[in-house]
Structure 1
Amino acid sequence: MLGSLKQLVKWWKFALRGRSRGIRIGRGCEIGFRSELEGGNRILDDTTFSGRLGYGSYLGERCRISGSIGRFCSISAEVATIPGRHPTTGFVSTHPAFYSLKGQAGFTYAKAQLFEEYAYADAEKGYGVVIGHDVLISHGVRILEGMTVGDGAILAAGSLVRSDVEPYAIYAGVPARKIGQRFDDDTIRELLELRWWDRDLPWIEAHAPLFTDIQAFLAACRKEAP
């Protein structure tokens, strides 16, 4: 009872701090207490999230996501990251009782941990999945642990991501494969060097009218360059 009360107090403190930074969290959500929400975020109903959520990024309903998400990402409903791995070759069985000390089924035959069950896209920070900035993830996408989704990428609805996603590329399918890219290679290179999402908010607001025209936007940024 006391533990539950402490958790409730922590949650209310988190919610109050969040509102001052433009963060809104829907009903039935579960947010890890060590999570970092940068501000300007929306997390819709019944979503579970733990990790880091960059400024302006939002999560749709019924997501199950653990990892690092960059700034200005648009994530639809029922998107999930999938933790954990099983051996698929070499071992006689995929059952963890033969290689894991964790006792997932309540017992184990292993005398040592014989297989790495978790993969990390950023092992230093402990993130299983890393999603870049300005990423669009459509409804029902699944992302396997250990994957990195590059800046500016688009993942089509229902995709299963089991390999790293290139910046500004468009991926679709099961498994997800590259089917196109948003801009030509020179434009992508310029956007990655510019990293507009790292600019301060007054700069972004001032340039927002140009975001509907990639060439006009880049031309204006070139004129500003020292």
Structure 2
Amino acid sequence: AVFMMAGNQGHQNNWVSTFPFFYQDDENFSDAKDGFERSGDTIIGNDVWIGTEAMIMSGVTVGDGAIIASRAVVTKNVAPYSIVGSNPAKHIRYRFTESEIAQLLEMKWWQWSDDQIKGAMSLMCSSDISGLYDYWQNQNRL
């Protein structure tokens, strides 16, 4: 199970009360200010693996192919094909070399047709990124 911070919830810690009066359906609270700080949308890329009980805070972008370790608390953007873990999450290493990552991002295999993926299955289930790239280039020539 994955818990992702829902919405943009950052309470004002310098106000007298942290209670969300503005959510009350009562005209007595009609002058209440919205106390939540907006952080933006959380964006999860393609082919991302998120470990059990990982928490991804609002406003964070997780790049394509990234791996989020179990119980990691992600407070900053995660680069494509990066492995992160800990609290707060830290970059551990990249899954592949810089040139291999560039090839994977160029191919965008997650947008391929089912037939293209089926034809590349032996390469998809391997570490042969160069072979997959060659397959993709040949498919584009057809």
What TM-score do you get using the length of structure 2 for normalisation? 0.81
Q: Is it true that 1:101 corresponds to 2:16 in the alignment? A: no
| Matching of residues 38-117 of structure 1 within 5 Å | 78-83=1-6, 84-88=9-13, 91-93=14-16, 95-97=18-20, 101-103=22-24, 111-117=31-37
Partner amino acid for 1:101?
F
- Gaps (5+ residues) in structure 2? none
Deviation readout 1:76-127 (Å, 9 max, x if unpaired) = xx21111222135xx2456135xx51149x9x87834254445332xxxxxx
> Could you say which residue in structure 1 is the equivalent of 2:99?
186
Identify the match of residue 120 of structure 1 among 29, 32, 40.
40
Partner amino acid for 2:68?
L
Separation (CA, whole Å) in 2 of partners of 1:103 and 1:190: 51
Separation (CA, whole Å) in 1 of partners of 2:73 and 2:99: 28
Q: Is it true that 1:222 corresponds to 2:141 in the alignment? A: no
> Taking structure 1 as reference, are residues 183 and 93 closer, same or farther at Cα in structure 2, changes over 3 Å only?
farther
Deviation readout 1:7-55 (Å, 9 max, x if unpaired) = xxxxxxxxxxxxxxxxxxxxxxxxxxxxxxxxxxxxxxxxxxxxxxxxx
Separation (CA, whole Å) in 2 of partners of 1:198 and 1:87: 42
Separation (CA, whole Å) in 1 of partners of 2:137 and 2:17: 54
- Gaps (5+ residues) in structure 1? 1-77, 122-128
When the two structures are aligned, how many residues end up with a matched partner?
137
SS at match of 2:4: strand
Write 1 or 2 for the structure with the bigger share of strand. Answer: 1
Q: Is it true that 1:160 corresponds to 2:73 in the alignment? A: yes
Partner amino acid for 1:219?
D
- Residue 145 of structure 1 deviates from its aligned partner by 1.8
CA contact (8 A) 2:104 2:129 kept: no
CA contact (8 A) 1:148 1:164 kept: yes
- Residue 166 of structure 1 deviates from its aligned partner by 1.0
Partner amino acid for 2:134?
A
Structure with bigger RCO (C-alpha 8 Å, 6+ apart): 2
- The percent of aligned pairs where both chains have the same amino acid is 29
SS at match of 1:96: coil
CA contact (8 A) 1:154 1:168 kept: yes
Identify the match of residue 122 of structure 2 among 194, 206, 209.
209
